[in-house]
Amino acid sequence: MKKLTKQILFLILISIVMISCSNTIDLDKDKKDIRYDFTTGILRYKGKPFTGEVVSHYPNGQLQSKGSSKEGKRDGNFENYFENGKINSKGSYKGGERDGVFEEYFKNSKLKSKGSYKSGKTNGVWEFHFENGQLESKGPYLGGKKDGVFEEYFGNGKLKSKISYKSGEQDGVVELYLENGQLQFKRSYKDGKQEGVWEEYFGNGKLKSKGPFKGGREYGVWEFYFENGQLESKGSYKDGEQDGVWEFYFEDGKLSKKETYIDGYRDEGLEQVGSPFKKQN
């Protein structure tokens, strides 16, 4: 009786192995029986949507990728490998769409990127790294769009930029830095358009220019400086055009000249500043 029981268990085990083997296809060896419909995203094996494990190999036999398919769509964990056998990337799918944590690696096994998907769209905080492991950038996504503060870094670890987003549009303060850590630009946006005070700095940290934007155009009083900190020029903008009295100075602080502008044109002249076109009489 015991002998018969062992034989039955052995046959069951063999059956399970055979079923398991039959539910695995190799994208290289079985390619004549495999069809992929790019329109529907359905993987078919011998004419039917495939359910089971899908693998592929390099020419040297090394495993290149493995993952699961359910009714012809990616479903479950997937892994991709370099030819040396080390992990290249890994993540999970649900109903053919990326869903869950995804990670990508450099050939030296250092993390290249890490973040999550939800229903095929980037969601949550993502991080990107240099090949030495140093953080390159990070920031949150919501529904596939940037949403929140994103930070980017130089290779030396110093902050390169800090930008605020809302639903994929720049919204809020934007700061850009030089590699020595010195602030270069400070700007603000609203719904993707320039809004609020903008500042630009020289490499020595001194202010280069300062002025407000309104609705994506320069508006109000703007000031421009020499690198020694001395005022170079000062005047007003209206709807992105110079308007009113502008004062210009020498680098020693003495007044050079005053000019009056109306909608971007010098009151006493014909030439529009910054434009090759001439005003017609």
Report CA-CA distances (Å) from 268 to 172, 220, 274. 40, 22, 16
User: How does DSSP classify residue 278?
Assistant: B
Structure confidence at residue 275 (pLDDT): 38
For 19-78, the pLDDT digits (tens) are: 444 599 999 999 999 999 999 999 999 999 999 999 999 999 999 999 999 999 999 999
Radius of gyration of the chain (CA): 31
Structure confidence at residue 22 (pLDDT): 54
Structure confidence at residue 172 (pLDDT): 95
Cβ within 8 Å of residue 80, ≥6 positions away:
64, 65, 87, 88, 89, 90
Structure confidence at residue 269 (pLDDT): 54
Structure confidence at residue 264 (pLDDT): 87
Residue numbers of the chain with a pLDDT score lower than 50: 4-21, 270-281
Rounded distance between C-alpha atoms, residue 8 and residue 16, angstroms: 12
